[in-house]
Amino acid sequence: MEEIIVNLHMHTHYSDGSGSHKEIALAAIECGLDAVIVTDHNVLVQGFEGYIKNGANRVLMLIGEEVHDQDRDPQKNHLLVFGAKEEMATFADDPQSLIKNVGESGGLSFIAHPTELAAPAFNETDISWEDWSVDNYTGIELWNGLSELKTLIPTKLHGVFYSLFPAFVAHRPLTRTLQKWDELLKQRRVVAVGGSDAHAFRMRLGPLSRIVYPYNFHFRAINTHIFIPNPLTRDLNTDKQMIYEALAGGHCFIGYDLPLSTRGFRFTVHGGEAAGIMGDEIHSQGAVTLQAYLPSFAEMRLIKNGKVIRTVKRTQALTYITREPGVYRVEAYRNYLGRKRGWVFSNPIYVR
Ligand SMILES: [Zn+2]
Ligand SMILES: [Zn+2]
């Protein structure tokens, strides 16, 4: 298994972002990412997929889109679409039909910012996901950089502070979204990803103009670490397929890499002849052993069916032996800039 670092969910000047695909690629290379997935609003932009080089370094750029019904008021139900073969924005008016068409087109669908509250000081309305009657989507965007920011800016002054010191923004996925995920996991598999929702906003104040939350800030922050079976080949189609298959299988975790890189986190299971990683299912005919490992010391929590069943402070490793079926996942927390902050959120291992 090979761990790659991917930043997903971002906007260019084809929708409401300020930058170009080229600028995104250069920022991604600067930050050491393996791949980015660009998702402009309601347009599958053609012509930018592939490896982009800068000197000896390169990054894989994949293009998806973020689809929502622009006639709906308020404009809720945003869906991230990856790997669909054609434009999906035409199906935007009905979320379930959109999800169905994405699947039929070979794509993956993730509910974007499931909780995204209003920020009245910035005239931003609540654009949470509303239609929870839908099914057959791949997963949800558990941690979105922008949703969290919106909970922190009751006034314009707060907005100015966080734009100058963006490292103070991220704490953890919103509680309502985490609870929703645990609730959904009781019924079905739901893959969690972390998204930056990078726009590189251009803020104007009188004659001054400044880019806030630039791409190269986001690319060092909330990333999705994906486990692919073989190293990247540098062939677009081979690598794209490997990445999307791994995402569909939930072989990934969300790492908040700004305090310290989360590269090296592992969460595995073995029992009898069987073994697996995040996203896998294992049958508990006998006892199974769950093992989590962190690249550095942190507080680690093991969660079963939405409840914390073990917390270990300042540890790098956690082992848990059980015969009980359940949905098991791991969270890790570290102190950073004076606060305890989420560091790692694993996808579950399903013990059946
Ligand atoms: Zn959105
Ligand atoms: Zn977005």
Q: Which residue has the tokens 């170009």?
A: 20
Q: How many whole angstroms from 299 Cα to the centroid of ligand 2?
A: 31
Average pLDDT over residues 80-85: 98
CA 263 / ligand 1 centre spacing (Å): 27
Report the separation in Å between the CA atom of 79 and the middle of ligand 2, taken as the mean of its atom positions: 9
Average pLDDT over residues 129-135: 97
Q: Hey, what are 61's tokens?
A: 């750029």
Give pLDDT, residue 55: 96
Helix (H) or strand (E) holding 184: helix 175-185
Give the ligand with the smallest distance to the CA of 197. 2
pLDDT score for 105: 98
The two three-digit tokens of residue 34, written as one number: 């393996």
> What's the CA-to-centroid distance between 238 and ligand 2, angstroms?
27
> Which ligand has an atom closest to residue 129 CA?
1
CB atoms within 10 A of CB 122: 13
- Residue 17 CA, ligand 1 centroid: distance in Å: 12
Q: What is the mean pLDDT of residues 269-294?
A: 94
CA gap 66, 105 in Å, rounded:
15
* Arithmetic mean of pLDDT, 135-164: 95
Q: Which of 150, 245, 241, 140 is nearest to 194 (CA)?
A: 140
What is the average per-residue pLDDT within 164-186?
97
Higher pLDDT, 110 or 286: 110
The whole-chain average pLDDT of the chain stands at 97
- For residue 147, how far is its CA from the centre of ligand 2 (angstroms)? 10
Token pair in block for residue 244: 């999307």
Average pLDDT over every residue of 323-339: 97
pLDDT of residue 286: 87
Burial (CB count <10 Å: 0-12, 13-18, 19+), residue 16: exposed
Q: Average the pLDDT over each of 20-29, 55-64, 199-208, 252-261 and give the range with the smallest value.
A: 199-208
pLDDT at 351 over 80: yes
Q: Which is it for the CA torsion 192, 193, 194, 200, positive or negative?
A: negative
Q: Is-contact 29 220, C-beta < 8 A?
A: no
Give the C-alpha distances (Å, rounded to integers) separating 215 from 9, 11, 255, 325.
Answer: 11, 10, 17, 41
Q: Which ligand is nearest to the CA of 11?
A: 2
Mean pLDDT of the region 176-196? 98
For residue 9, the ligand closest to its alpha carbon is 2
Ligand nearest to the CA of 40: 2
Alpha carbons 297 and 314: distance in angstroms, whole number? 5
Bridge partner residues of 288 (DSSP): 322
> For residue 284, is pLDDT > 80?
no
Q: Of the candidates 269, 271, 287, which has an alpha carbon nearest to the alpha carbon of residue 348?
A: 269
Quick one: how far is CA 88 from the chain centroid? 21
pLDDT of residue 104: 98
Ligand nearest to the CA of 79: 1
Give kind and range of the element (H or E) at residue 238: helix 236-248
Instruction: Report the separation in Å between the CA atom of 66 and the middle of ligand 1, taken as the mean of its atom positions.
Output: 7
Q: Please report which ligand is nearest the Cα atom of 195.
A: 2
Residue 285's pLDDT band, with cuts at 50, 70 and 90, is: confident
The pLDDT of residue 60 is above 90: yes
Rounded to the nearest angstrom, the distance between the alpha carbon of 47 and the centre of ligand 1 is: 23
Question: Using alpha carbons only, how large is the chain's radius of gyration in Å?
Answer: 20
Give the distance (Å) from ligand 1 centre to CA of residue 234. 30
How far is ligand 1, taken at its centre, from the CA of residue 78, in Å? 5
Cα–Cα distance between 311 and 256 in angstroms, integer?
19
Confidence band of 16 (pLDDT split at 50, 70, 90): very high
How far apart CA 250 and CA 244 sit, in angstroms, is: 10
Looking at the predicted structure, is the pLDDT value of residue 207 above 90?
no
Residue 36 has a CB neighbour count (10 Å cut-off) of: 30
Distance 112 CA to ligand 1 centre (A): 6
| Distance (Å) from CA 213 to ligand 1 centroid | 16
> What is the whole-number distance in angstroms between the Cα of residue 201 and the centre of ligand 1?
14
Going from the Cα of 287 to the center of ligand 1, the distance in angstroms, rounded, reads 43
Indicate if the pLDDT at residue 205 is higher than 80.
Answer: no
Q: Indicate the pLDDT class of residue 206, thresholds 50, 70 and 90.
A: confident
**Å from CA of 15 to ligand 2 middle:** 10
* Cα-to-centroid distance, 105 and ligand 1 (Å): 22
Tell me the CA–centroid distance for residue 37 and ligand 1, in Å.
Answer: 14
Ligand nearest to the CA of 198: 2
Distance CA 2, CA 14 (A): 33
C-alpha span between 203 and 265 (Å, rounded): 37
- Report the pLDDT value the prediction gives residue 208, as an integer from 0 to 100: 85
In DSSP terms, 293 is beta-bridged to 266, 317
Report the C-alpha gap between 269 and 286 in whole angstroms: 13
Q: In terms of residues, how long is the chain?
A: 352
Decide: pTM greater than 0.85: yes
pLDDT at 273 over 90: no
Q: Tell me what pLDDT residue 203 has.
A: 87
Residue 280 has pLDDT above 90, yes or no: yes
Which ligand lies nearest to the CA atom of residue 39 in the structure?
A: 2
